[in-house]
Structure 1
């Protein structure tokens, strides 16, 4: 008897935040029958926002139909939203996939592909207000589900997101087992991981850092949405 693989594809592009996809990759690769694809425009190594580079396993043109598509975020999202080949791939696969997912600002690539209209979604806190431009219904949470759409908040929320998806695919016991296997039992040394709990001075400095990037991001997002209209 043959078993059909459950094809999971992570969409890669230059200057992704590596933890946006390596966290979910670590979790979802434990799904029995999972067939993982790291998908990019070419087979050239993809640069992350750190030292790490990632070799794709397949190109957009060669990728088989996916049961689950996952789009990570990162500062490379601005350029990715304007990449017609990438957006067309996400739109095409997203229309047919059983599950459409993203982490952090990868949500905006789903939006640029026309996959968020009227759907509840989340993203990194610093970009949350921009979700409305995609036609999504913004929800402030680490993980948001709307039907077959699963979106995760910023960076580390990708692990929560992936465990939530794994529970959907294989049951809570399987997800709890993987949580234990990877010893995911966060106990951060500080309470600065959310705008709601961060000290005021830390929040102000961090907002200023992102504030410098938001005009270019908003312009790229608006251009991407205009291209789909």
Structure 2
């Protein structure tokens, strides 16, 4: 077994869970179309925010999956630190390039090369967008003495719909450093079919 195999297996586990959370998020967003602003709707918004939170935290762990000791430190931070900004600050110290980047695979005219990777032109989730909604989950995953207003409900629903679409585009085909030292992997989420996600080590340009 190659030395990198355990890291790839660990990375794949995190991507599998990301896919599961995104599928659950999609199911809840579909239910919100019928429920709308109501006690049940507020509960669904909270459930969506929990899935958003878990997607971001799985991405955090994915970014250090090549190193067990760093992964243990991130996991402890996720469990012990309650503020989102403190968790992200600790992760940035371990891997400043922790967030994935979207790429496309296109046909190549080069002899013997079936395809090549290119940058993505359409919008996809950025780290700043992910941070904003992760911070928001800090507030929404606690009970409040004031019932969520219709305006806030619709704003949160719109933000969640946007998050889902941008995250799907980000992870449709992506690259990420899972070590903080340049151990790059490529991945395919395969969100819209029954295929397992794919993660494999590769050199990219």
- TM-score computed with the length of structure 2 as normaliser: 0.25
- In terms of fraction of residues, the more helix-rich structure is 2
- TM-score computed with the length of structure 1 as normaliser: 0.23
Bigger Rg over Cα: 2
Greater length-normalized contact order (CA 8 Å, ≥ 6 residues apart): 2
- In terms of fraction of residues, the more strand-rich structure is 1
